[in-house]
Structure 1
Amino acid sequence: MSADQGANKSMYQFSYAEVLEDDPQSSRNREREALDHALELLTAAKQKGRTSRESIEALHYVRKLWMVLIEDLVNPENDLPDVLKADLINVGIWVTKEADMISLGKSDNFEGLIDICGIIRDGLK
Protein backbone atom coordinates (compact mmCIF):
# COMPACT_ATOMS: atom_id res chain seq x y z
CA MET A 1 0.00 0.00 0.00
CA SER A 2 1.43 3.39 -0.98
CA ALA A 3 1.72 6.27 1.49
CA ASP A 4 -1.13 8.03 -0.35
CA GLN A 5 -3.37 4.98 -0.06
CA GLY A 6 -2.47 4.66 3.62
CA ALA A 7 -3.34 8.29 4.25
CA ASN A 8 -6.57 7.89 2.29
CA LYS A 9 -7.50 4.77 4.20
CA SER A 10 -6.81 6.32 7.59
CA MET A 11 -8.87 9.40 6.71
CA TYR A 12 -11.71 7.78 4.84
CA GLN A 13 -12.37 4.49 6.58
CA PHE A 14 -14.16 6.10 9.50
CA SER A 15 -17.61 7.62 9.56
CA TYR A 16 -18.05 10.73 11.65
CA ALA A 17 -19.80 8.72 14.37
CA GLU A 18 -16.86 6.32 14.55
CA VAL A 19 -14.41 9.19 14.77
CA LEU A 20 -16.42 10.65 17.65
CA GLU A 21 -15.82 7.45 19.59
CA ASP A 22 -12.14 8.37 19.61
CA ASP A 23 -11.01 11.14 21.83
CA PRO A 24 -11.32 14.53 20.09
CA GLN A 25 -7.55 15.00 19.97
CA SER A 26 -7.06 11.76 18.00
CA SER A 27 -9.71 12.83 15.51
CA ARG A 28 -8.13 16.24 15.04
CA ASN A 29 -4.71 14.59 14.65
CA ARG A 30 -6.00 12.38 11.81
CA GLU A 31 -7.61 15.36 10.10
CA ARG A 32 -4.43 17.39 10.54
CA GLU A 33 -2.36 14.53 9.05
CA ALA A 34 -4.68 14.33 6.04
CA LEU A 35 -4.37 18.09 5.51
CA ASP A 36 -0.58 17.89 5.95
CA HIS A 37 -0.50 15.30 3.19
CA ALA A 38 -2.68 17.53 0.99
CA LEU A 39 -0.26 20.41 1.59
CA GLU A 40 2.73 18.25 0.62
CA LEU A 41 1.00 17.17 -2.59
CA LEU A 42 -0.12 20.69 -3.46
CA THR A 43 3.37 22.09 -2.89
CA ALA A 44 4.86 19.49 -5.23
CA ALA A 45 2.13 20.19 -7.78
CA LYS A 46 2.79 23.93 -7.66
CA GLN A 47 6.50 23.29 -8.31
CA LYS A 48 5.92 20.82 -11.17
CA GLY A 49 3.06 22.70 -12.86
CA ARG A 50 -0.61 22.33 -13.59
CA THR A 51 -0.21 19.59 -16.21
CA SER A 52 2.10 17.37 -14.16
CA ARG A 53 1.38 13.99 -12.63
CA GLU A 54 1.90 15.64 -9.25
CA SER A 55 -0.85 18.11 -10.03
CA ILE A 56 -3.31 15.39 -11.00
CA GLU A 57 -2.50 13.44 -7.83
CA ALA A 58 -2.74 16.50 -5.57
CA LEU A 59 -6.01 17.75 -7.02
CA HIS A 60 -7.59 14.31 -6.82
CA TYR A 61 -6.56 13.91 -3.19
CA VAL A 62 -7.71 17.41 -2.21
CA ARG A 63 -11.13 16.93 -3.84
CA LYS A 64 -11.59 13.56 -2.19
CA LEU A 65 -10.47 14.85 1.21
CA TRP A 66 -12.79 17.85 1.14
CA MET A 67 -15.74 15.77 -0.06
CA VAL A 68 -15.26 13.54 3.00
CA LEU A 69 -14.94 16.56 5.27
CA ILE A 70 -18.10 18.12 3.80
CA GLU A 71 -19.95 14.83 4.18
CA ASP A 72 -18.97 14.74 7.84
CA LEU A 73 -20.00 18.37 8.34
CA VAL A 74 -23.52 17.76 7.01
CA ASN A 75 -23.95 14.65 9.16
CA PRO A 76 -26.61 15.32 11.83
CA GLU A 77 -24.32 13.72 14.43
CA ASN A 78 -21.71 16.42 13.88
CA ASP A 79 -22.04 18.66 16.90
CA LEU A 80 -19.95 21.60 15.71
CA PRO A 81 -21.82 24.91 15.88
CA ASP A 82 -24.03 25.43 12.81
CA VAL A 83 -22.25 28.64 11.81
CA LEU A 84 -18.85 26.93 11.89
CA LYS A 85 -20.17 23.95 9.91
CA ALA A 86 -21.64 26.29 7.29
CA ASP A 87 -18.38 28.24 7.02
CA LEU A 88 -16.32 25.05 6.64
CA ILE A 89 -18.74 23.68 4.04
CA ASN A 90 -18.37 26.91 2.06
CA VAL A 91 -14.59 26.62 2.30
CA GLY A 92 -14.80 23.02 1.09
CA ILE A 93 -17.00 23.98 -1.84
CA TRP A 94 -14.54 26.72 -2.82
CA VAL A 95 -11.58 24.31 -2.55
CA THR A 96 -13.24 21.67 -4.73
CA LYS A 97 -14.31 24.26 -7.33
CA GLU A 98 -10.83 25.79 -7.41
CA ALA A 99 -9.30 22.32 -7.82
CA ASP A 100 -11.69 21.74 -10.73
CA MET A 101 -10.68 25.07 -12.31
CA ILE A 102 -7.00 24.11 -12.08
CA SER A 103 -7.74 20.70 -13.62
CA LEU A 104 -9.58 22.38 -16.49
CA GLY A 105 -6.69 24.76 -17.14
CA LYS A 106 -8.73 27.81 -16.11
CA SER A 107 -6.61 28.57 -13.04
CA ASP A 108 -3.22 27.83 -11.56
CA ASN A 109 -4.12 28.94 -8.03
CA PHE A 110 -2.22 26.27 -6.13
CA GLU A 111 -1.15 28.96 -3.66
CA GLY A 112 -4.79 29.66 -2.73
CA LEU A 113 -5.43 25.97 -2.09
CA ILE A 114 -2.22 25.73 -0.06
CA ASP A 115 -3.17 28.78 2.00
CA ILE A 116 -6.71 27.59 2.76
CA CYS A 117 -5.69 24.02 3.60
CA GLY A 118 -2.92 25.39 5.83
CA ILE A 119 -5.31 27.71 7.68
CA ILE A 120 -7.80 24.89 8.28
CA ARG A 121 -5.03 22.52 9.37
CA ASP A 122 -3.64 25.10 11.79
CA GLY A 123 -7.12 25.56 13.26
CA LEU A 124 -7.25 21.89 14.26
CA LYS A 125 -5.05 22.35 17.33
Structure 2
Amino acid sequence: MGDFNASVGQQIAEEQAIRQFGWGEHNERGQMLVNFCEARKIVIGNTLFKKGNGRKWTWRRANGETLNEIDFVLSSHQEILTDASVLNKFTTGSDHHLVIARINVRGSQTQWH
Protein backbone atom coordinates (compact mmCIF):
# COMPACT_ATOMS: atom_id res chain seq x y z
CA MET A 1 0.00 0.00 0.00
CA GLY A 2 1.46 3.34 -0.86
CA ASP A 3 1.48 6.79 -2.35
CA PHE A 4 3.11 6.15 -5.70
CA ASN A 5 2.21 9.50 -7.32
CA ALA A 6 1.44 7.41 -10.37
CA SER A 7 -1.73 7.23 -12.41
CA VAL A 8 -2.12 3.72 -13.83
CA GLY A 9 -5.44 4.36 -15.53
CA GLN A 10 -7.45 1.68 -17.24
CA GLN A 11 -6.19 -1.68 -18.44
CA ILE A 12 -4.44 -1.60 -21.80
CA ALA A 13 -4.22 -4.68 -24.03
CA GLU A 14 -2.41 -7.55 -22.31
CA GLU A 15 -1.62 -5.90 -18.97
CA GLN A 16 -2.15 -8.22 -16.02
CA ALA A 17 -1.24 -5.80 -13.22
CA ILE A 18 -4.27 -3.60 -13.98
CA ARG A 19 -7.68 -5.21 -14.07
CA GLN A 20 -11.01 -4.08 -15.46
CA PHE A 21 -11.77 -1.31 -12.93
CA GLY A 22 -8.81 1.02 -13.44
CA TRP A 23 -9.63 4.74 -13.33
CA GLY A 24 -8.23 7.64 -15.34
CA GLU A 25 -5.31 7.46 -17.74
CA HIS A 26 -1.71 6.22 -17.59
CA ASN A 27 0.99 8.77 -16.94
CA GLU A 28 4.75 8.20 -17.12
CA ARG A 29 5.07 7.23 -13.45
CA GLY A 30 1.99 5.04 -13.82
CA GLN A 31 3.56 3.15 -16.68
CA MET A 32 6.70 2.66 -14.56
CA LEU A 33 4.54 1.22 -11.75
CA VAL A 34 2.68 -1.05 -14.18
CA ASN A 35 5.98 -2.28 -15.64
CA PHE A 36 7.30 -2.95 -12.11
CA CYS A 37 4.15 -4.91 -11.21
CA GLU A 38 4.09 -6.82 -14.50
CA ALA A 39 7.70 -7.96 -14.04
CA ARG A 40 6.92 -9.24 -10.54
CA LYS A 41 3.41 -10.63 -11.16
CA ILE A 42 1.85 -8.10 -8.79
CA VAL A 43 -1.75 -6.91 -9.16
CA ILE A 44 -2.86 -3.34 -8.44
CA GLY A 45 -5.69 -4.11 -6.02
CA ASN A 46 -7.63 -0.88 -6.55
CA THR A 47 -8.37 -2.02 -10.11
CA LEU A 48 -10.03 -5.29 -9.03
CA PHE A 49 -13.19 -3.80 -7.56
CA LYS A 50 -15.94 -1.73 -9.14
CA LYS A 51 -16.48 1.54 -7.26
CA GLY A 52 -18.21 4.82 -7.96
CA ASN A 53 -15.93 7.70 -8.97
CA GLY A 54 -16.09 9.16 -5.44
CA ARG A 55 -14.58 5.92 -4.10
CA LYS A 56 -11.73 5.77 -6.64
CA TRP A 57 -9.82 9.06 -6.56
CA THR A 58 -7.24 9.42 -3.79
CA TRP A 59 -5.77 12.88 -4.42
CA ARG A 60 -7.20 16.31 -5.19
CA ARG A 61 -5.21 19.27 -6.54
CA ALA A 62 -5.49 22.40 -4.37
CA ASN A 63 -7.78 24.04 -6.96
CA GLY A 64 -10.25 21.18 -6.39
CA GLU A 65 -10.65 20.62 -10.13
CA THR A 66 -8.15 17.81 -10.67
CA LEU A 67 -8.78 14.38 -9.15
CA ASN A 68 -6.43 11.41 -9.52
CA GLU A 69 -6.06 7.88 -8.25
CA ILE A 70 -2.38 7.79 -7.23
CA ASP A 71 -2.40 5.70 -4.02
CA PHE A 72 -2.58 1.95 -4.49
CA VAL A 73 -2.77 -1.43 -2.81
CA LEU A 74 -0.38 -3.92 -4.45
CA SER A 75 -0.44 -7.67 -3.92
CA SER A 76 1.38 -10.65 -5.32
CA HIS A 77 -1.56 -12.75 -4.08
CA GLN A 78 -4.73 -11.40 -5.70
CA GLU A 79 -6.89 -14.05 -4.05
CA ILE A 80 -6.41 -12.58 -0.54
CA LEU A 81 -7.83 -9.18 -1.54
CA THR A 82 -11.55 -8.99 -0.88
CA ASP A 83 -11.91 -5.21 -1.31
CA ALA A 84 -9.94 -2.02 -1.91
CA SER A 85 -11.59 1.35 -1.63
CA VAL A 86 -11.16 4.99 -0.67
CA LEU A 87 -12.48 6.49 2.55
CA ASN A 88 -13.68 9.73 1.01
CA LYS A 89 -15.49 11.16 4.03
CA PHE A 90 -12.58 10.92 6.44
CA THR A 91 -10.64 14.19 6.77
CA THR A 92 -6.92 13.84 7.43
CA GLY A 93 -5.74 17.40 6.75
CA SER A 94 -4.02 16.09 3.62
CA ASP A 95 -4.79 16.41 -0.07
CA HIS A 96 -4.92 12.58 -0.13
CA HIS A 97 -7.82 10.36 0.89
CA LEU A 98 -7.23 7.19 2.89
CA VAL A 99 -7.17 3.87 1.05
CA ILE A 100 -8.54 0.77 2.74
CA ALA A 101 -7.95 -2.86 1.81
CA ARG A 102 -9.72 -5.92 3.12
CA ILE A 103 -7.75 -9.11 2.98
CA ASN A 104 -8.62 -12.66 3.83
CA VAL A 105 -5.77 -14.62 5.36
CA ARG A 106 -6.43 -18.26 6.25
CA GLY A 107 -10.18 -17.79 6.33
CA SER A 108 -10.33 -14.73 8.62
CA GLN A 109 -10.81 -11.21 7.32
CA THR A 110 -8.33 -8.51 8.32
CA GLN A 111 -8.39 -4.78 7.48
CA TRP A 112 -5.29 -2.74 6.75
CA HIS A 113 -5.48 1.06 6.51
TM-score range, shorter chain: under 0.3
Higher strand residue share: 2
Using structure 2 for the length normalisation, give the TM-score: 0.27
The structure that has the greater radius of gyration is 1
Q: Which has the higher contact order (CA 8 A, sep 6+)?
A: 1
Higher helix residue share: 1
